A = this chain, B = another copy of it.
Amino acid sequence: MDVRTTILDEATRLFAAHGFDGTSIQSIADAVGVRKPSLLYHFPSKVDLRESVLERLLSHWNERLPELLLAAATPTAPGAQTPRDGRFDRVLDALTSFFLEDPNRARLLVREALDRPDELRTLLVKYVKPWIGVVADQLATARAQGFVHEDTDVEAYALHVTHMVVGGVAVFDTLGAVLPGRASERSERLRAELVRLAKAGLFRRGQTERPPPPSKDAAARTRHTTAEPSSK
């Protein structure tokens, strides 16, 4: 594999694990299997390396964005007239899988939020804010239609759920220690409860489905055990 890419990989791993200040370029060079000046040939300084790492992370995110936005915006499954079947799940899945795919992404973001809040802020405004906006719009529409609790602050809600996913992935194994049981099932419990919490905190209807606006329903096509507000 390309040396430059290998450096980025190892740097990502080590920055996520020990932080920027806790990682020496020497240790990165060792991990790559190359001498320090060789590394500095590809990235003229440690700061440059960090920026490249972050840039790559965010560009990966940007590649995934359309898919996620599509999931949020696609109003209806092919033949169904239930207005919002599975959309919520698709967005949440897209988000969680992106970070679970490589938890270092989450850890890196949380570290940046702590280490360089100002710089991350501008990146968030650029990369995340518009997406939050789209999701929030969808939620606001759903709220107007009566599917979502009417006192929901849609932007703040989207932010909290995002934070639960990102922050959760970042500290999962540390945090999960307070749960009993094996590590594998602990993470699954946390994931499942996150989904339940996010849904129950959003959609109206306690347990039973009961959307206030009159709607003709198609057959209950809910493919998840805990369902969306498919109508009635």
Contact = CB atoms under 8 A, between A and B. Distances in A.
Interface of A: 18-22, 107, 110-111, 113-115, 117, 120-121, 124-125, 128-129, 132, 136, 140, 143-144, 149-157, 159-160, 163-164, 167-168, 170-171, 173-180, 189-190, 192-194, 196-198, 200-202, 204-207, 219, 226-232
A179 B136 CA distance: 11
A179 B156 contact: yes
A228 B163 contact: no
Given A170-B114, A174-B117, A160 B19 contact: no
A149 B160 CA distance: 21
Given A197-B160, A201-B200, A153 B189 contact: yes
Contacts of A176: 159
Contacts of A153: 189, 192-193, 196, 227-228, 230-231
Nearest to A137: B231
